[in-house]
Amino acid sequence: MNDQPLTIRFWTQAILHLDADAFFASCEQAVHPELKGRPVITGKERGIVAAASYEAKARGVQRGTRLSDVKKICPDAVILPSDYETYSLFSVRMFEILRRFSPDVEEYSIDEAFVDLTGLRRSFHGSYETIAQKMQETVEKELGITVSVGVSLSKVLAKIGSKHTKPHGLTMIPGRDIHLYLGKLPAEKIWGIGPNTAAFLRKFGIITALDFAKRDEEFIKKHLSKPYHEIWHELNGRSVYPVSAESKSSYQSISKTKTFTPPSHDETFIFGQLSKNLESACIKARRHNLAATRLFVFLRTQDFRDTGIGLKLSRPSAYPVDLFESLRNGFQQVYRPRHLYRQTGIVLAGLMPEADIHYTLFDDQTKIEKMSRVYSVIDELSGRYGKYTVFHATSLPTKQQARHEGERGDIPKRTTELLKGENKRQRLGLPMLHIKV
């Protein structure tokens, strides 16, 4: 198109991307301050590393490493069971803090957010950099975790910024500097470009992100599909992806997976795990008034081999009782009796708003109405007494397993050391600091 496409002199848009550093491990260090500066790993109950603190990463521990290997490469690592309740509390607070600065906050994942800062210089009497710095400081001070921040003209560029320096980085990529950052970045490191596309691009001599951004629009249109065309615009500093501030209510799919230790080959138990996953995914679907049209079932063996199957449902539904038949069906097709399994998972896909369901002549309307009433009572009971107050008997085997887990010290302190008045299902909505004073 032209020789210098990457010099924009003004902040046409200011998009911030914030990424928490080793989020789960950081949360643990925040509530166990004596662990600051030490290698901390979460995921004890899964047998593999879910998150590793920067101290552990420095020693060569990576996400997904087996814990038995961790003990060899980093014997002094502190290995903790995942405490998702605490991580969620931190996550919600992080977004709340960001919303103090701008109403346009997109909760991209549990530990990542995009914030549109465009136009805020006036109310903060400072540059975008000052605002970003203030946001970073506030999160770090109030939550006791560190975060990395990138600010640029588009989401894709902001994300490049937050990755650039980590942990505790603050990277500004103004229009005039875009080419400096893209020149050093391999194309496959761009958000949205995978190894296959990168390999394809290499055939055209596109190695770095800058090579990609500098290609003319004709080339992009001819060889690549729409998403890559959009990324190309974003890399050139033209924002295409808006920061969408609505809290996550539209889902493409809902998936629930659970690892159990020790691994098992017991059919009833493994199906129980799937059943629990299904119930929990359905709860989430109902909360957002969605119904699934497709169901995926998968199992993972002890040696990390996955088998799975996708099923089309006869009618959209978010009621487990309606889906058990398909679940059983799928399970029987993938389950092999003599294998040891460590994880099961289900995905509810093809989600549609519950209000849009049209039942056919062959559907038993009375039965559906009954189901809907039963589940609305179940949801109400859950609201009052905690999740899984009432659950399906097929999920019962998972309860027995939990007891074994407790004996192995795989349950977070938060669920074992209850305060007076708390119970197993409902606890105080505040993170607990574990300091002996």
Partner 1 sequence: MARRATEEKILSRTKSIAHFYHQKGRMPSFAEIGELIGLRSKNAVHKLVSKLQQNNVLSKDEKGRLIPGSIALPVRVLGTVEAGFPSPAEEELADTLSLDDLLIQNPSATFMLKVSGDSMSGAGILPGDMVIIDKGQEPKSGDIVIAEVDGEWTMKYLKKRGENIILIPANPLYKPIRPKKELKIAGVVTAVVRKYR
Q: DSSP string of 260-271?
A: EEEEE--HHHHH
Which of 126, 144, 192, 409 is the binder for partner 1 (CB under 8 A)?
Answer: 144
**Are 174 and 152 in contact, with CB atoms under 8 Å apart?**
yes
Nearer of residues 36 and 202 to partner 1, judged by Cβ = 36
301-340 footprint of partner 1 as x/- string (CB under 8 A): ----------------------------------------
Counting contacts by CB under 8 A, is residue 76 touching partner 1?
Answer: no
Which residue, 387 or 434, has its beta carbon nearer to partner 1? Answer: 434
Contact call for residue 141 and partner 1 (CB under 8 A) = yes
To the nearest 10 degrees (0 to 180), the angle between helices 365-385 and 320-334 is 90
* Residue 437 binds partner 1 (CB under 8 A): yes
Contacts of 167 (CB under 8 A, 6+ apart): 21, 22, 54, 146, 148
**Nearest CA-CA partner of 266 in 344, 320, 329:** 344
Q: Which helix (H) or strand (E) holds 48?
A: none
Q: Which part of the chain contacts partner 1 (CB under 8 A), choosing from 142-150, 199-207, 310-318, 325-333?
A: 142-150
Number of residues forming the site for partner 1 (CB under 8 A): 23
Applying CB under 8 A, which of residues 1, 71, 96, 184 lies at the interface with partner 1?
Answer: 96
Q: Which is nearer to partner 1, 93 or 387 (CB)?
A: 93
Residue 105 lies near partner 1 (rule: CB under 8 A): no
Nearest CA among 373, 394, 414, 379 for reference residue 268:
394
As measured in angstroms, the least distance from the Cβ of 34 to partner 1 is 7
Q: How far is the CB of 401 from partner 1 (least distance, A)?
A: 28
In this chain, which stretch among 139-147, 191-199, 287-295, 368-376 interacts with partner 1, using CB under 8 A? 139-147
Shortest gap between Cβ of 174 and partner 1 (angstroms)?
30
Minimum distance, C-beta of residue 419 to partner 1, in the bound complex (Å): 6
* Phi/psi at 166 (5° precision): -150, 145
- To the nearest 10°, report the CA torsion of 82, 83, 86, 88: 60
| Nearer to partner 1 (CB atom), residue 103 or residue 353 | 103
Instruction: Find, among 129, 169, 110, 98, the residue nearest to 11 by Cα.
Output: 129
Name the minimum Å distance from CB 136 to partner 1: 15
Min separation Cβ 111 and partner 1, Å: 16
What mask, x for binding partner 1 by CB under 8 A, covers residues 405 to 434?
Answer: ------------x-xxx------x-xxxxx
Residue from 14, 16, 97, 170 in contact with partner 1 (CB under 8 A): 97
Residues 6 or more apart in contact with residue 278 via CB below 8 angstroms:
256, 320, 323, 324, 327, 346
Q: Is 34 exposed, middle or buried (0-12, 13-18, 19+ CB in 10 A)?
A: exposed
For residue 300, which of 268, 329, 257 has the smallest C-alpha distance? 257
Sheet holding 78-80, edge to edge: 51-52, 40-42, 78-80
Q: Name which of 188, 187, 145, 189 is nearest 168 in CA terms.
A: 145
Examine the residue annotation and report whether 354 is marked as an active-site residue of this protein: no
> φ and ψ at 11, to 5 degrees?
-85, 85
Q: Which of 1, 7, 12, 34 binds partner 1 (CB under 8 A)?
A: 34
C-alpha dihedral over 311, 315, 317, 320, to 10 degrees? Answer: -60
With CB under 8 A as the contact rule, the residue among 143, 190, 292, 297 that binds partner 1 is: 143
CB of 161 to partner 1, least distance (A): 25
**Identified catalytic residue from 45, 55, 106, 112:** 112
Q: Which is nearer to partner 1, 76 or 96 (CB)?
A: 96
Rank residues 24 and 228 by Cβ distance to partner 1 and give the closer one: 24
Q: Which of residues 3-32 bind partner 1 (CB under 8 A)?
A: 31
3-state secondary structure of 314: strand
CB of 422 to partner 1, least distance (A): 10
Start-to-end CA span in the chain (Å): 65
Under the rule (CB under 8 A), what is the footprint of partner 1? 31, 33-34, 93, 96-97, 141-144, 417, 419-421, 428, 430-437
Give the catalytic positions in this structure.
112
